[in-house]
Amino acid sequence: MFLRKANDLGGHPLNAYQHATDIRERILQVASELFYREGTRAVGVDLIVARSGVAKTSLYRYFPTKDDLIREFLLREDRDFWRHWDAAANPDSAEDELFAQLQWMGDRMVRPGYRGCPQINIAAEYADEKHPARVVAAAHKMELRSRLGGLAQAMELARPEEFALTISIVIDGAFSSGGALHKQGPARFLQSVAHTLLVAARDAKTD
């Protein structure tokens, strides 16, 4: 059916597919900007339609419900976060990688228009733990703790899971407060806390 429609319009199926992809991406881009800046409850579908310049039927074709759009927004943010993480990976030194990860996270907190972690912000709008925002946010935080735990194990720290939990809570707090509360800068703040935790973990191992 899709192929016949594309050909009836005189276009190549691949062109029709690209057009559909472009429309979907435009809707998601506009919704993401609005959701991040204003929150999901304050942004209605009509505003997204007006800002993206597409028909409401097109929006519902790609995102049957507003919750679907919220979920895709958070998954988009999730993929972006892990792209930055992977770019800072260091197979030669887990400790150097930890500080590199905290550096880009801190830099993220002082970028123009920063309004906190989208996972934390949007999940806080919904009480239902089964809401897509809560589900995606929980998976994101679990993955963060897992990766931090992997670094702790690679550094052979005492109680790596405890280290991962503690530093992840510190990261969440920094994301929520942003650069304003840390005169030395969020990256240096995070790295300073991490250094203190590393010293304590290594001292505990030698006791």
Tokens linked to 134 = 């809560």
3-class DSSP assignment, residue 203 = helix
| Domains, in order of start, for the chain | 1-64 (1.10.10.60), 65-207 (1.10.357.10)
- The pTM for the full model equals 0.86
Closest CA to 102 of 165, 164, 189: 189
Q: Write the burial class of residue 140 (CB in 10 Å: 0-12 exposed, 13-18 middle, 19+ buried).
A: buried
With 50 as the cut, is the pLDDT of residue 7 above it?
no
Residue 105 near residue 98, CB atoms below 8 Å: no
Picking from 5-14, 102-111, 155-164, which range would have the lowest pLDDT averaged per residue? Answer: 5-14
For a pLDDT cut of 70, what percent of the chain falls above it?
86
Categorize the per-residue pLDDT at 2 as very low, low, confident or very high, splitting at 50, 70 and 90.
very low
Tokens linked to 65 = 């419900």
